[in-house]
């Protein structure tokens, strides 16, 4: 990735081996003291992150990072492409640098799938509601920031966010296990179909909250309330501490709560609550936003520096997914300062100390500016220790730096305050994933019989079927 050195430059690693590493190499080239410095640093970080992206090269797939890992194609999952698109939409919004807009628009549009609802056939076999949700949130962000609209004959940002929401609001994705809520996975043949988790429901909640504010349609508020009440009811949000837990299994009525606290779970609910407060001006959403923000800052920013609690204490523990969470938390906190001005003074200083720590450790690689994941230490740790090539690590730091410009950026628009993206309340109504996607390719073995069995099993409780049914 960083193999093309100008001739005559001795690679830092050789100098390191020789024990003569010049101090210039261990000093980060990034400064973020002024808005100009922030823009300049963000520009370089955005350039370096793009080096991981091959989606705009001939023969490659637009929208995704090299992967998915299960197919041996690279370190990154489909949803992370959607998250990266969102990071660049914010990059443009905050810095006004249009360099990547074309690449991002192309990637966002390429992945919409045949029904324009972010369920492209290539990736539906392993589709999680959260995976689809991350693409939906990036489409929503594009509408809120007035990211350039695609040509008329192509899918539009608002309609795409509505489509994702509508497929997830569909009765097909909800059942009575655990008193409601959505499952993690969409296809019932997947590992994780029996898990109802915070992030899947959190994406649905977040998109609904934002659609409510953008469109002024209260149906979205009703659904978002229902999701919140469910998450509260199953104790995924701790009633005492306001910590947000990961999920539970349908065979235990979701009482076997996995108490791992990943930073993006609390942050996605916090940002959704902030949108709902901004739209409804209801005190309860202000209280909820404040409680979550306070807990988020206290748990995930010890000494003012982002820290991924469940896995960061030991190198090699964070997975490719977890290695990207810090960036979302920074970006979502930034938007909260716009929507809930009371929280501005609390959040902004933390975003700054954390971003300073983030850039301080960007001293790696032959360029001397590659970023790692371990911000608190101040030392670059090669992403190889966590078995990745470093795209998530690079995305986090870009997110932290660009978000520092939030104070001079426009808040998210709505349909009545300058939004131009065309919506479609019927988008996503004809999702055919259940009709065209057979959970397992056993048509020749068992034909429709097994599908019927699986659907029945889905209605009765799916645990255990994998060992008996196939």
Ligand X SMILES: *[C@@H]1O[C@H](CO)[C@@H](O)[C@H](O)[C@H]1NC(C)=O
Instruction: Indicate whether 215 belongs to the interface with ligand X (CB under 6 A).
Output: yes
Residues in 121-140 that interact with ligand X by CB under 6 A: 122
Of the candidates 197, 164, 241, the residue with the CA atom closest to the CA atom of residue 424: 164
The conformation of residue 406, written as its DSSP 8-state character, comes to G
Residues in 160-179 that interact with ligand X by CB under 6 A: 166, 178-179
Report whether the peptide linkage leading into residue 233 is cis, meaning its omega lies within 30 degrees of zero.
Answer: no
Cβ distance to ligand X smaller for residue 106 or 353 = 106
**Is residue 458 within a helix (H) or strand (E), and if so which, with residue range?**
helix 448-460
Q: How many residues bind ligand X (CB under 6 A)?
A: 29
Pick one of 120, 136, 365, 368: the residue that binds ligand X (CB under 6 A).
120
Instruction: Indicate whether 338 belongs to the interface with ligand X (CB under 6 A).
Output: yes
Cβ proximity of 173 and 183 under 8 Å: yes
Q: How far is the CB of 178 from ligand X (least distance, A)?
A: 6
Cβ proximity of 172 and 434 under 8 Å: yes
Query: According to DSSP H, which parts of 65-197 are helical?
Result: 78-95, 101-110, 121-124, 129-145, 157-169
Give the C-alpha separation, 69 to 397, whole Å.
23
Cβ distance to ligand X smaller for residue 150 or 372 = 150
Q: How far is the CB of 238 from ligand X (least distance, A)?
A: 15
Q: How far is the CB of 296 from ligand X (least distance, A)?
A: 19
Site string for ligand X, 22-61 (x = CB under 6 A): ----------------------------x-----xx---x
Cβ distance to ligand X smaller for residue 89 or 234 = 234
Q: How far is the CB of 428 from ligand X (least distance, A)?
A: 9
Of the candidates 333, 398, 403, 407, the residue with the CA atom closest to the CA atom of residue 45: 398
Residues in 270-289 that interact with ligand X by CB under 6 A: 278, 281
Give the C-alpha separation, 266 to 295, whole Å.
8
Give the C-alpha separation, 194 to 114, whole Å.
27
Residues in 401-430 that interact with ligand X by CB under 6 A: 411, 415, 425
Cβ distance to ligand X smaller for residue 234 or 311 = 234
Give the C-alpha separation, 159 to 331, whole Å.
23
Q: How far is the CB of 14 from ligand X (least distance, A)?
A: 28
Pick one of 13, 44, 219, 442: the residue that binds ligand X (CB under 6 A).
219
Give the C-alpha separation, 39 to 58, whole Å.
30
Of the candidates 387, 380, 252, the residue with the CA atom closest to the CA atom of residue 311: 387
Give the C-alpha separation, 111 to 338, whole Å.
30
Q: How far is the CB of 306 from ligand X (least distance, A)?
A: 24
Q: Contact region for ligand X (CB under 6 A) — 6-14, 97-105, 199-207, 243-251? A: 97-105
Residues 6+ apart with CB under 8 A from 279: 209, 212, 213, 216, 221
Instruction: Indicate whether 234 belongs to the interface with ligand X (CB under 6 A).
Output: yes
Cβ distance to ligand X smaller for residue 196 or 330 = 196
Structure tokens at 440: 């397992």
The conformation of residue 441, written as its DSSP 8-state character, comes to S
SS3 266: helix
Cβ distance to ligand X smaller for residue 102 or 445 = 102
Instruction: Indicate whether 204 belongs to the interface with ligand X (CB under 6 A).
Output: no
The conformation of residue 6, written as its DSSP 8-state character, comes to P
Q: How far is the CB of 271 from ligand X (least distance, A)?
A: 13
Cβ distance to ligand X smaller for residue 89 or 166 = 166
Pick one of 32, 209, 339, 400: the residue that binds ligand X (CB under 6 A).
339
Give the C-alpha separation, 184 to 31, whole Å.
40
Cβ distance to ligand X smaller for residue 57 or 467 = 57
Residues in 100-119 that interact with ligand X by CB under 6 A: 100, 103, 110-111
Cβ proximity of 198 and 244 under 8 Å: yes
Instruction: Indicate whether 396 belongs to the interface with ligand X (CB under 6 A).
Output: no
Interface positions with ligand X (CB under 6 A): 50, 56-57, 61, 99-100, 103, 110-111, 120, 122, 166, 178-179, 215, 217, 219, 233-234, 253, 278, 281, 338-341, 411, 415, 425
């Amino acid at each position: 990735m960083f193999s093309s050195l100008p001739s005559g430059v001795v690679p830092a690693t050789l100098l390191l081996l020789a024990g003569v590493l010049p101090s210039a190499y261990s000093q980060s080239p990034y400064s973020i003291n002024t808005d100009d410095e922030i823009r300049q640093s963000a520009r370089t970080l955005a350039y370096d992150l793009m080096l991981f992206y091959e989606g705009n090269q001939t023969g490659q797939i637009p929208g995704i990072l090299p992967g998915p890992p299960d197919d041996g194609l690279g370190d990154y999952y489909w949803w992370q492409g959607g998250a990266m698109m969102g990071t660049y939409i914010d990059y443009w919004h905050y810095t006004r640098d249009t360099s990547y807009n074309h690449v991002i628009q192309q990637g966002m549009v390429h992945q919409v799938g045949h029904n324009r609802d972010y369920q492209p056939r290539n990736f539906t076999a392993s589709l999680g509601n959260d995976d689809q949700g991350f693409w939906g949130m990036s489409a929503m962000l594009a509408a809120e920031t007035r990211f350039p609209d695609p040509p008329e004959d192509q899918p539009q940002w608002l309609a795409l966010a509505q489509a994702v929401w509508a497929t997830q609001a569909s009765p097909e994705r909800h059942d009575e296990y655990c008193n409601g809520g959505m499952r993690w996975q969409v296809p019932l043949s997947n590992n994780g179909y029996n898990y109802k988790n915070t992030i899947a429901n959190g994406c649905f909640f977040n998109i609904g909250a934002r659609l409510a504010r953008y469109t002024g349609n209260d149906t979205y508020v009703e659904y978002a309330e229902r999701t919140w009440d469910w998450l509260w009811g199953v104790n995924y949000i701790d009633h005492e501490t306001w910590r947000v837990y990961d999920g539970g299994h349908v065979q235990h009525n979701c009482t076997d709560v996995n108490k791992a606290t990943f930073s993006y779970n609390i942050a996605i609910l916090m940002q959704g609550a902030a949108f709902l407060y901004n739209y409804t001006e209801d005190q309860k959403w202000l209280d909820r936003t404040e409680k979550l923000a306070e807990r988020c800052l206290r748990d995930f920013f010890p000494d003012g520096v982002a820290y991924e609690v469940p896995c960061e204490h030991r190198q090699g523990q964070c997975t490719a997914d977890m290695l990207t969470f810090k960036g979302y938390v920074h970006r979502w906190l930034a938007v909260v300062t716009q929507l809930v001005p009371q929280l501005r003074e609390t959040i902004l200083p933390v975003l700054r100390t954390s971003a300073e720590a983030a850039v301080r450790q960007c001293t790696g690689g032959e360029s001397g500016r590659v970023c790692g994941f371990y911000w608190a230490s101040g030392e670059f740790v090669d992403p190889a220790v966590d078995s990745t090539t470093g795209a998530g690590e690079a995305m986090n730091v870009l997110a932290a730096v660009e978000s520092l410009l939030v104070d001079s950026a426009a808040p998210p628009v709505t349909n009545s305050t300058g939004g131009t993206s065309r919506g479609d309340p019927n988008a996503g109504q004809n999702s055919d994933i259940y009709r065209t996607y057979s959970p397992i390719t056993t048509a020749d073995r068992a034909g429709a019989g097994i599908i019927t069995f699986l659907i029945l099993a889905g209605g009765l409780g799916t645990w255990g079927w994998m060992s008996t049914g196939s």
